Structure 1
């Protein structure tokens, strides 16, 4: 069986369009590139889950698989997009690491990797919490690549420095490729753009993606409808941007 490309979508703070990026990267791969994609909502806020029209309170999450109560196929749900499946999130994820049997397993960070290693998909995309917690570390250990999300504002860019240190520390025991740094809510006329780009370049050299996601109300409207932009407003500028980002990331994966 061909091994899935597993990608964690990360940021150190909220409000960086991390979840929208995970959703639309996955949806674009499935819809425009005919790839078989599994989205894993690994954030207890469950925004990815609700963004695809699922009620987090009605479905089991990866928590049940981590606790060895269910197998991966039992928690996978098909979405309205062909070839795009999801493992929903729920509130149990938030403290799953302190429950049995994980609490007494010194290698608990590696369990997600073992769960996903034989997943029959072209891509597995993990939406992580906006913090450097057990869930994020487990997701990064399970992944070969990470996509980092940021916005052109001070606290988001400063958070990249801490995230970089975290990834470097993790890389000492687990090889991890930074696939790119994606900027969202981009204003081409922003007066501080160069300063922000310089900080990103210093923190993650040569990793800033050329395509960027422009601010677009259509993203929020699609989330309310529980569908990707490509279904609700395929001609909007954010949909165009996400298509360009997907092409850039596929190109980076071939390098």
Structure 2
């Protein structure tokens, strides 16, 4: 079971869109369901999978506090998901207030899933580097960054590196395994930032670029991934290519 945190220190850079559609692309190509875990109290991944927060009785926050996987997991066709609901806004302070082991709360709960035959698990992290995101990075040990190739991207990558270094100094192993350029519109600035980041992270910088696409923005409101919603769109084309590149790199 390979586990990945999809992370960035800011919101609005395509984390949820990437978790949703990368998982769907993997399923379409392998017929193996990934497990998705929605760690963001905004619940966007859960809603994109057709689960409304006010109808989710048991969330990942319940799982953290000891609920069985069978009580929190949902089958959404192309994947299984531990969803979020509005109670999850309490998770950050709940972890922070633990006296011992607050960096490994999620890691310890993930041990329950060792007997399940998931090839891939993806955490959709909040848009910050708080306790929940750090927990997810430690539990996953692999971090995939979605990067909007604009001005603040370089600063964001520096903060991510600092956080990973701090985690490693605490004796935990975390690998930055991939950087995926998202919200691409082909501007000069896009190319300049991409080239700068790729020069520093040559081996892990993905060649696929996820272009801005209206259909990618529309599909979550219909509770569908891009392949079901608009199979002929640029968004479907890009996430199919990302899925192939991901599988090639990670198998």
Structure 1 residues 193-230: Cα deviation after superposition (integer angstroms, max 9, x where no partner)? 33202431355343210001011100111111011011
* Counterpart position of 1:53: 50
Q: Report whether the alignment pairs 1:104 with 2:98.
A: yes
Distance 2:64 2:241 in 1: 35
- Residue of structure 2 aligned with 1:243, choices 223, 231, 240: 240
**Structure 1 unmatched ranges of 5 or more:** none
Q: Report whether the alignment pairs 1:117 with 2:111.
A: yes
Q: How many residues align?
A: 246
Q: Report whether the alignment pairs 1:128 with 2:135.
A: no
Deviation >4 Å, runs of 4+: none
* Counterpart position of 2:182: 184
Post-superposition offset of 1:176: 1.9
Structure 1 residues 78-135: Cα deviation after superposition (integer angstroms, max 9, x where no partner)? 11x24x1111112222222434x97334102212112223421111100000100011
* Counterpart position of 2:173: 175
Distance 1:133 1:223 in 2: 26
- Residue of structure 1 aligned with 2:41, choices 44, 49, 52: 44
Distance 2:99 2:85 in 1: 22
- Taking structure 2 as the reference length, what is the TM-score of the superposition? 0.91
- Taking structure 1 as the reference length, what is the TM-score of the superposition? 0.90
* Counterpart position of 1:66: 64
Distance 2:230 2:92 in 1: 39
Distance 2:162 2:201 in 1: 11
- Residue of structure 1 aligned with 2:90, choices 92, 95, 104: 95
Instruction: Let me know the Cα RMSD of the aligned residues.
Output: 1.8
Distance 2:236 2:218 in 1: 12
Structure 1 residues 157-196: Cα deviation after superposition (integer angstroms, max 9, x where no partner)? 32111111111221332222222111111123x1123320
Distance 2:145 2:13 in 1: 9
- Trace 1:140-151 onto structure 2 (pairs within 5 A): 140-151=137-148
Post-superposition offset of 1:33: 1.6
Distance 1:54 1:229 in 2: 17
Distance 1:114 1:176 in 2: 16
- Residue of structure 1 aligned with 2:6, choices 3, 6, 9: 9
- Residue of structure 2 aligned with 1:219, choices 216, 221, 229: 216
Q: Which moved more, 1:112-121 or 1:162-171?
A: 112-121
**Structure 2 unmatched ranges of 5 or more:** none
Matched position secondary structure for 2:84 = coil
Q: Evaluate the alpha carbon distance shift between residue 29 and residue 117 of structure 1 in structure 2; reply closer, same or farther with a 3 A threshold.
A: farther
Q: Please tell me whether the aligned partners of residues 144 and 179 of structure 2 are also in contact (alpha carbons under 8 angstroms).
A: yes
